[in-house]
Amino acid sequence: MPAPAGPPPLGRNPGDAWVVAESGERYWGRFGAAGLLAVDPERGVLLQRRAQWSHHGGTWALPGGARHEGETAIAGALRESAEEAGVPAAAIRPRFVSVADFGVWSYATVIGDVERPFEAEISDPESLALEWVAPERIDGLALHPGFAASWPALRELLAVRPSVVVDVANVVGSVPDGWWRDRAGAAGRLLDRLVRATAGGLVGDELGLAAGTWFPEWSAVVEGQARAAVDVPGLAVVRAEGSGDLAVLDETGRRIAAGRTTAVVTSDRALAAQALELGAIVRPSGWLRSIIDAA
C-alpha cells in the first residue's frame, strides 16, 4: 500500500490518513475503511449527510470511516457508526460483509439488522444530518459517489436473510466418537464447536449466495436424549417433542415463511428431499463437519 499523504496529526489514530494511488486518487484510511448499512424493518436504512468540509461533503452515505490497524470490518463499522451516529453495537446483528478492493485500499460495507430500535444522534462534527430512509427513496438523494456505485447491488441484498437448520442427530451420528454413550454431551459439544467455527461467518459460495461473508441465523434441532443439551449463546436450539425429522421440517417451514433463505444440514435422504420440496437448499452433514474441523 502506498504511503499516506503525510503523517497523521499528533494524537490521531494512525489509520486516520489518506492513501494516495499512483493515479492521484485519494482514499481515506491507511488500513482501509468500513461503513455500516443498518437496516430497521420499520424505518429503513440509516444514512448520514456528510459535513461540507469532508470528502464529497453534503452528500449522503453510510456512517463509517477509517479502520484501525488490525481491526475487523465489523468492529470498524460498529465503532465508526457509534462515534458518528450514536449506534449502539449491541443493537446490531451483522448479516453480511462486502469488501470493495481497489488494490491500494479497500472499503468494507457491513449490512446489519437492527434488533433493538435506537435513536441515532449526531455525535461528532462529521455529520450534517442523520436520517432513516426507506430503500426506495435512496436513489433520489445526492449520494456519495462510492455509495452510489455500490447501492444497486446492496439494495438487492437487503431481501436476502440466510438461515441454517441443523439436523443435530444426523451430524452427531456421522462420526463414530462414542456419542451413543452420552447423546446430550455429544450434541452440546457439537453446538459449542459450531458457534465458535462460524463466528467469522461463511463465504457466500457455501450457501449459494452472493460473494462476501454471511452471518446466517442458526437453528439446531435436537431430539431424544440429546434434548438435555445445554443452550449455547448465538444459536437457537429447537428441542423436538417427538420426531426430530418433523421438527426440522417445521423449523425450516417457519424460517422460509419468515422470508429467510434457508439451508438444511442433513445426510438423511428422505428428510433432504422433503426440505427441498419446502424450498430449502440442502447441505450434507460432512459439509458442516468440514467447517467445524477447519476452525
Domain ranges of the chain: 18-157, 162-294
Angstrom distances, CA of residue 99 to CA of 34, 35, 74: 9, 10, 11
Q: Give 255-281 pLDDT, tens digit per residue.
A: 999 999 999 999 999 999 999 999 999
Check whether 187 has a pLDDT greater than 90. yes
- Architecture per CATH, domain 18-157, reads as Alpha-Beta Complex (3.90)
Whole-prediction pTM value?
Answer: 0.89
CA dihedral 109, 114, 288, 174 (to 10 degrees): 180
Q: How confident is the model at residue 7 (pLDDT cuts 50, 70, 90)?
A: very low
CATH number belonging to domain 162-294: 3.40.50
How distant, in Å, are the alpha carbons of 193, 196, 248, 289, 291 from that of 294? 11, 11, 26, 8, 5
Band of pLDDT at residue 3, cut at 50, 70 and 90: very low
Q: Residue 12 has what pLDDT?
A: 67
**Is the fold of 18-157 the same as that of 162-294?**
no
Reading the block at residue 10, the C-alpha cell is 499528533
Angstrom distance (rounded) from CA 36 to CA 110: 5
Q: Over 80: is that where the pLDDT of 11 sits? A: no
pLDDT at 10 over 80: no
End-to-end alpha-carbon separation of the chain, Å? 29
